Chain A
């Protein structure tokens, strides 16, 4: 199911843990979908000095978190802000199409953590993150039918290819 790189990051995840005095924290996902990720950042002089993660999720989710933190560690904030989910998936040498859903969390969590840092620096009180209870994916990114892997368009709730009702997933 997963290639060697993904399995390596799953079996030996890098940067697992918590930073007690983190100055940027980002949490995405929810147990409803089966994936949840928290990224902790220690930022000094606009650089990510340290980064750690905790993840509740499948092999893909853990591998994504690990690779993401490996890519982001030591980067400047400007460089880190440019990291996308696609970058993480490519660094992992690809994920199964129906697992791209899991990989969406990675860079999203990092960006949220950076925003948290910037808000704290600016003295902005961040609202408590409200857990979203539906399937979320960025509009414009491709989504695939979880039953037959055929690409489906946004807002579509019925897969023509396999006649599956996707009202709940999509």
Chain B
């Protein structure tokens, strides 16, 4: 199989998952992203991104316990995998290395 790619929005979600380590679930990710990006997002976009990344092996999931909140539905927590982390590192290294090649440009 081809090395799985990481889309732009997926990368953002993956970053949030990594940041909220072990406590990331749909709504928390959504809220964090909305705050950071300062724009409205739809929860379905987050769900799709999570599903795809889980299929690609960047994240794995576990269910939390049952509470009286959320209509008794369990939360599904996402954790970044080693492969996911490696992907993030690669992306980061790639961007940094290119960024550092930028000559000093002034926009006077």
Answer yes or no: do A and B interact: no
A residues lining the B interface (CB < 8 Å): none
Q: Which B residues are within 8 Å of any A CB, using their own CB? A: none
